[in-house]
Amino acid sequence: MSEHFENPVPTVDLIIRIGDGIVLIRRKNPPLGWALPGGFMDVGETTEQAARREAHEETGLEVTLEHLLHVYSDPARDPRRHTITVAFVASAEGVPVGMDDAAEARIFALDALPSPLVFDHSRILADYRHFLRTGERPRPVDDQG
């Protein structure tokens, strides 16, 4: 008899800073829209390894991970399934190129982001703006009161 588990799936997302802007990708696959570079972790890799791999696969950039921003686990954050993402702040140099499942990769000013942003990436970017202003990362939220 085999056991069947329905656990959340681990992912990573990156806020990649280049100059005064951040890199976003336009997704090729549903949900369509603009997103932070990132994706599903592979078996045998750390979140840091997954973040660097996903950044390179989707944008062609080699990134330096600078901060762990937060872990996001709202069961509704991804309409495809329950995921948990580890969000990193990273830096890079160069020009991003949309690759893999990214139709396009571009640098945007934080005050001129495209729409729509998919998943919970608006929330992640709001937390990033707060981090830039205050140096404070999001606090854990207990939805049970």
b/e sequence 2-17, b meaning 16+ C-beta within 10 Å: eeeeeeeeebbbbbbb
Position 74 in a domain: yes
Position 82 in a domain: yes
Would you state the pLDDT for residue 143?
Answer: 63
The structural domain count of the chain equals 1
Would you state the pLDDT for residue 134?
Answer: 97
| pTM score | 0.93
The CATH number of whichever domain residue 106 belongs to comes to 3.90.79.10
Domain span holding position 32 = 9-134
Per-residue pLDDT, averaged over 65-80, amounts to: 96
- Which residue has better confidence, 143 or 98? 98
Position 101 in a domain: yes
Residue 24 has pLDDT above 80, yes or no: yes
Position 25 in a domain: yes
Catalytic residues: 104
Position 144 in a domain: no
The answer to whether 77 and 83 have CB atoms below 8 angstroms apart is yes
Q: Which residues lie closer than 8 Å to 80 by C-beta, 6 or more apart? A: 30, 31
Per-residue pLDDT, averaged over 107-124, amounts to: 97
Query: Where residue 53 falls among pLDDT bands split at 50, 70, 90?
Result: very high
Q: Which two tokens stand for residue 101?
A: 């499942």
Position 121 in a domain: yes
Give the whole-number percent of the chain exceeding pLDDT 90. Answer: 92
